[in-house]
Amino acid sequence: MTNFIRALKPNSKLELIYRASVDGQMGKDFHSKCDNIFPTITLFKTNTNRKFGGYTESNWKLTTYGSDSHAQIFSINKEKSYKVNNCPEKSIYSDNTRGPNFDGLWVSEPFFNKGSFWETEGDHKCYPKESVYEMSEKESNNVLTEIEVYKVIN
């Protein structure tokens, strides 16, 4: 992850602003810590030790899609990242009942009780379609066990 951050934002530092296991697993918990703070890097971890995340320069204080032509998603396990390649106006999504959502990743509340958090149907228009499957490896038994959001400080 450090290499990804250095490539994305050289000389930047990270400040943890939200950890779901400590701060709560509901949309209101996420928004109380993350709204109006940007840019951010979000990290996800699953019960099968998948580690991946996303970067956005958009504000999470949304009630719909957010536009960010600099958004990216990445896999720590696979050491790959995917830039938004299409429709940057829908690169992230947020509302009161959701956590941090990148195109194809729909984290609904409570965050750790969903067996499938990657949208398996749909267009996945904002990032390359293979990126969704790269992150989840098509495992239907994946369950989120942690979400962390960091403020990127230049």
pLDDT of 124 above 80: no
Contact between 106 and 124 (Cβ < 8 Å)? no
Mean predicted lDDT score pLDDT of the chain: 82
Range of the domain at 79: 2-153
In this prediction, residue 116 carries a pLDDT of 54
User: How is 9-66 classified by DSSP, letter by letter?
Assistant: STT-EEEEEEEHHHH-SSHHHHHHHHTT--SEEEEEEETT--EEEEEESS-S--SSEE
Mean pLDDT of 22-49: 93
Structure tokens at 10: 């050289």
Query: Residue range 13-21: average pLDDT?
Result: 95
How does residue 113 score in pLDDT terms, banded at 50, 70 and 90? Answer: confident
Q: What is the per-residue pLDDT across 49-108, written as a single tens digit (0 to 9) for each? A: 888 889 999 999 978 888 889 998 888 888 888 888 778 888 888 888 888 988 777 787
Find the mean pLDDT for residues 117-125. Answer: 58
Handedness of CA 92, 30, 142, 83 (dihedral sign): positive
Q: Between 33 and 142, whose confidence is greater?
A: 33
Give the sheet arrangement for strand 80-83, strand by strand.
13-19, 144-153, 40-46, 51-56, 72-75, 80-83
* Nearest-angstrom CA–CA distance, 19 and 142: 19
Q: DSSP code of 122? A: S
pLDDT-based confidence at residue 29 (cuts at 50, 70, 90): very high
Q: How many domains does the chain have?
A: 1
Q: Are 103 and 90 in contact (CB under 8 A)?
A: yes
